[in-house]
């Protein structure tokens, strides 16, 4: 929406009495401050990555496996019938969302859940 349309809409809201502000520009500043305090963009971005990572059935299956034990990429590939690039892609998304820990042992990379308690709580809610 254009800035002009937003300003007109805000002016209508303030003049109608629906919004508590008398001055549309002052009220606009107050709303922006509220958004920054309550819904900070950086936090929302992190939350978005988290929920996007959970929004895929393959990644949910990977998390379920890792809830049982640590696994290397090869084990995840075999368990879920995935190619190596596909498994690595999903593990990368989960890792970037902060959901996984990993450790290297020689050429092998082992993955585990970063926060087991979080996943146990999600499981109790029936979400995993």
| pLDDT 10s digits, 71-112 | 999 999 999 999 999 999 999 999 999 999 999 999 899 999
Q: Is the pTM of this model over 0.85?
A: no
Give 56-80 as a 3 state SS string: CHHHHHHHHHHHHCCEEHHHHHHHH
Number of domains composing the chain: 2
Domain residues for 93?
Answer: 45-124
Q: Is 57 in the same domain as 113?
A: yes
Same domain, 51 and 22: no
Do 23 and 75 belong together in one domain?
no
Helix (H, G, I), strand (E, B) or coil at 3: helix
Query: Do 58 and 119 fall into the same domain?
Result: yes
Please check whether residues 63 and 13 belong to one and the same domain. Answer: no
Rounded to 5°, angle at Cα 119 from 117 and 125: 105
In angstroms, rounded to a whole number, what is the distance separating the alpha carbons of residues 79 and 100?
18
Same domain for 32 and 50, yes or no, is no
Q: In terms of domains, do 31 and 61 share one?
A: no
Q: Which residue has the higher pLDDT, 89 or 124?
A: 89
């Amino acid at each position: 929406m254009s800035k002009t349309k937003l300003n007109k809409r805000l002016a209508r809201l303030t003049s109608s009495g629906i919004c508590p502000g008398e001055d549309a520009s002052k009220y606009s500043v107050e709303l922006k401050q509220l958004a920054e305090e309550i819904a900070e963009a950086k936090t929302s971005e992190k939350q978005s990555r988290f929920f996007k990572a959970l929004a895929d059935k393959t990644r949910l299956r990977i998390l379920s496996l890792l809830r049982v034990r640590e696994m290397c990429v090869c084990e995840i590939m075999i368990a879920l019938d995935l190619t190596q690039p596909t498994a690595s892609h999903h593990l990368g998304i989960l890792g970037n969302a902060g959901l996984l820990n990993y450790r290297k042992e020689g050429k092998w990379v082992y993955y585990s859940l970063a926060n087991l308690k979080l996943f146990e709580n999600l499981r109790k809610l029936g979400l995993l």
